[in-house]
Amino acid sequence: MQKKIDVLILTDPIDDFWIPLMPEYSGKKFVSISRGNVNLDEIKIDEKKKKKKKKKEKDSDYEALLKEIKSCLDEKVSNVIVSKSLTESPARLIADENGMDIQMEKMMMMQNPDFEGSPRVLEINIEHALIKSMNKKLESSNDVISDLALLLFDQSKILEGKVPENLQEFNKRLTKVMQLAI
């Protein structure tokens, strides 16, 4: 609702097959928000809203955090990038530009339960308070950053409808971070 753009929600696994056959409708191009690096900043907004917007964080201020998160997650993700589309969530998983969409992966998993898919890209929202705090903590406490990176990854998997790989470790990390917050 922040940019007031039309969104078509496609949840059927077959949607991944017909979208390439019909890439646009009435002059509107279909773009998957779950694949590749979609930049919603390119969508024009009212001049009044532009003036009210706060100072945007710079991507370059977060390069060290991106590298640290990538290092913590190792092979769980193919890359960690700054989001140009998230507004409220701190992070999410997306398919690589040429990777398999989540719906297609679900369909493949229905056919073959052993199918794991390819590592996804973790997209982080540098405007989110949690990510800003992580960036500030980077110099003083890498242990917390590691736990938070893994929690962000697991949280993003949960948003996709998947269960974290190791629920006991997820619970321990969550409890540890909650204790630090008190």
The pLDDT tens digits for 29-53 are 777 666 666 666 665 555 445 444 4
Domains and CATH numbers, the chain: 15-21+60-181 (1.20.120.790)
Calculate the alpha carbon distances from 178 to 151, 170, 175, 181 in Å.
12, 12, 5, 5
Question: Tens digit of pLDDT for each residue in 143-160?
Answer: 789 999 999 999 999 988
What pTM does this model have?
0.71
Higher pLDDT, 47 or 97: 97
Phi, psi of 48 (to 5 degrees): -60, -45
Question: Tens digit of pLDDT for each residue in 48-91?
Answer: 454 444 445 688 889 999 999 999 999 999 999 999 888 899 99
Strands 77-82 vs 28-29: parallel, antiparallel or unpaired: unpaired
